Amino acid sequence: MKRLWIYCLAGIGMTACNTGNAKKELTPGTWQASLHRPDGADIVFNFLVKDTAGKKVLYVLNATDKLLVDDVKVSGDSVFIKMPFFDSDFKARFADGGSLEGQWTRHLADKDVSVPFTAKPNTAERFPKGAAPAQQVTGRWVTTFVDKDNKTSNAIGEFKQMGDLVHGTFLTTTGDYRFLDGSMDGDTLRLSTFDGSHAYLFKAVVKKDSIVNGRFFAGIGDHVENWSAVKNDTAKLPDERTIATMKPGQSKLDFAFPDMNGKKVSINDDRFKNKVVVITLMGSWCPNCMDETGFLSEWYKKNKDRGVEVIGLSYERTPDFEKSQKALSGFLTRFDVQYPVLITGVTPADPEKGEKTLPQLTGIKGFPTTIFIDKKGNVKEVHTGFSGPGTGEHYEQFKADFERLISQLLES
C-alpha cells in the first residue's frame, strides 16, 4: 500500500496544506542549496534532480562525487527528501520561482537538530563567480586547526585548482574530509561539502606558500575553528599501522556479538577458521565508514571464494540493540553488504569502548579501524582511518596495498 506524504509544517514560514493547488514539481537540472547557520555562515552545496522511471531522484554533488538520494516525495506544495545515510532529512515547500524553503533535520540518538534550508533551481554554480584567481592553491598543505578552547589538531590539505574551481580534501590520521568543492575568488579560497553528515564550509586567504585567516564552520550550530596551512609537497601523516596496535603478548582477538538478526557470531566460529579475516570497526553515522563499506562490500562479493571473510563490528550512537539495528538497516541495504555486521552495543563516544569490545587492542583511536587476521587467527596489522575516494591517488594506493596484503596473507 502506498503511503501519502503530506507535510503541513509550522514555524518555518510554511503555508497550510492546500490540496486544491496546482501540482508543483522539482525542476530537473542542477540546484544550489544552502543550510543557513545561525551565525550567517551558510553551507552551500549542489544537487542534481532527475526523472527516473517515473519518479524523482536527486544526486548530491561534491566535486566528483554523486550521492544518490532516491527517497524523494512531492505532495502539493510540500517536498520530503530523506537522505540515504546518517538519519537526516529535508522537509520543504515550493516558494516563488519554484525554489524550496524548509528545514534540514538530523535525528541524533537523543534529540533532533534542525537548520533552515533553501534551494534555487537552474543554478549550477556553488559560490558566486568572483574576481579572477590571484593565487594557485594546487598542492599539499600542512594544516593546523585551532578550536575555541585553543586546542589544536593537524591535517594535510590536498587541493587541485582548475581555473577558479578547486577540489580537494583534508587528510587526517583517522580518515579524510571526503569531497570538498569550491573556488578561488581573487586570493580567497572557499570550499564546502554536504553528504547528510558532513556539513562543512572553509574560508581562507591564500598566499604563495601559506594559507592564513582560515575559518572552518562545521555543522548547523555554532562550531567554528580557525585554520592555517603551510605548503609542503613532501608532508606525510603518521603510519596508520602504528596508531592502534595489539597489546604486548596478545596476538588473537576474542569476541562474540549479535548480528542484525540477533544471532551471536564469534570470531572463533568455524566459518572463520583457516581463513584470512578482515574486521572493520565502523558505524552508520560515520562518512568514512560509508566509503570503506562501499569498497569492502564490492570487494567481498568478488573475492569471498578466495578464502577470505569480512566482519563488521558496529559502534552505533546508542547501546539499544533495536535502535542500532534500525540505524544500520538502510546503510547495509544501500551497499548490499553480504558479510556479517555485528552490533557491539557500545557507543563510539564511550571512552572504554576498546576495553569493552576488543581488550586485546591498545585502544580504538578512530573509525573506521581495519584489522587483518591471518589463517592461523593471528592479527597481522591494524589500520586506523581510511583514505576514501575523495583522496584521489591515496585511495588508489590504499586499494593496491589492501590487495597486496590480502594476497600475502593467503599465501602464508
| pLDDT band for position 4 (cuts 50, 70, 90) | very low
Class of domain 256-411: alpha beta
Which of 336, 335, 342 minimizes the C-alpha distance to 262? Answer: 342
% residues pLDDT > 90 (the chain):
86
**Among the listed residues 287, 304, 70, 302, the one whose alpha carbon sits nearest the alpha carbon of residue 193:** 287
Q: Is the pLDDT of residue 74 over 70?
A: yes
Question: Can you tell me the distance from the alpha carbon of 286 to that of 60, in angstroms, rounded to the nearest whole number?
Answer: 17
Asked, colleague to colleague, whether 29-120 and 256-411 share their fold, the answer is: no
Q: Is 389 left (phi over 0), alpha (psi -120 to 50) or beta?
A: alpha
| 19 band by pLDDT with thresholds 50, 70 and 90 | very low
Distance between CA atoms of 363 and 103, rounded to whole angstroms? 38
Residue 23 is predicted with a pLDDT of 54
139-231 sits in which CATH class? mainly beta
Burial state string for 231-268 with b = 16 or more CB within 10 A and e = fewer than 16 = beeebebeebeebbebeeebeebebebbbbeeeebebe
| CATH code, residues 29-120 | 2.40.128
Q: Above 70 in pLDDT, residue 18?
A: no
SS3 for 403? helix
Mean pLDDT calculated for residue range 269-273: 96
pLDDT digits (tens, 9 = 90+) for 352-401: 999 999 999 999 999 999 999 999 999 999 999 999 999 999 999 999 99
Q: What residues does each domain of the chain span?
A: 29-120, 139-231, 256-411
CB 324 within 8 A of CB 345: yes
- In sign, the C-alpha dihedral spanning 101, 178, 353, 344 is positive
Q: Which runs of E-coded beta strand occur in 70-220?
A: 71-75, 78-82, 88-94, 100-107, 112-120, 139-146, 152-162, 165-172, 175-176, 180-185, 188-194, 199-206, 210-218
Confidence (pLDDT) at 174? 87
Q: What are the residues whose beta carbons fall under 8 Å from the beta carbon of 295, sequence distance 6 or more?
A: 388, 399
Reported in sequence order, the residue ranges of 173-294 that DSSP labels E, i.e. its strands, are 175-176, 180-185, 188-194, 199-206, 210-218, 223-231, 256-258, 264-266, 276-282
pLDDT digit string, tens, across residues 229-267: 999 999 999 999 999 999 999 999 999 999 999 999 999
Distances (CA, A) of 53 to 5, 50, 122, 341: 19, 10, 22, 32
pLDDT value for 91: 97
The Cβ of residue 316 has, within 10 Å, a number of other Cβ atoms equal to 25
Cβ-defined contacts of 107-115 (< 8 Å, 24+): 108/317, 109/316, 109/317, 109/318, 109/323, 109/347, 113/220, 113/221, 114/220, 115/35, 115/36, 115/37, 115/38, 115/220
Distance CA(29)–CA(123), nearest Å, equals 8
Residue 221's pLDDT is 84
Whether residue 54 is predicted with pLDDT greater than 90 in this model: the reply is: no
Q: Is the pTM of this model over 0.85?
A: yes
- 17: confidence class by pLDDT, cuts 50, 70, 90: very low
Structure confidence at residue 25 (pLDDT): 81
Q: Is residue 8's pLDDT more than 70?
A: no
For the segment 102-131, the average pLDDT, to the nearest whole number, is: 93
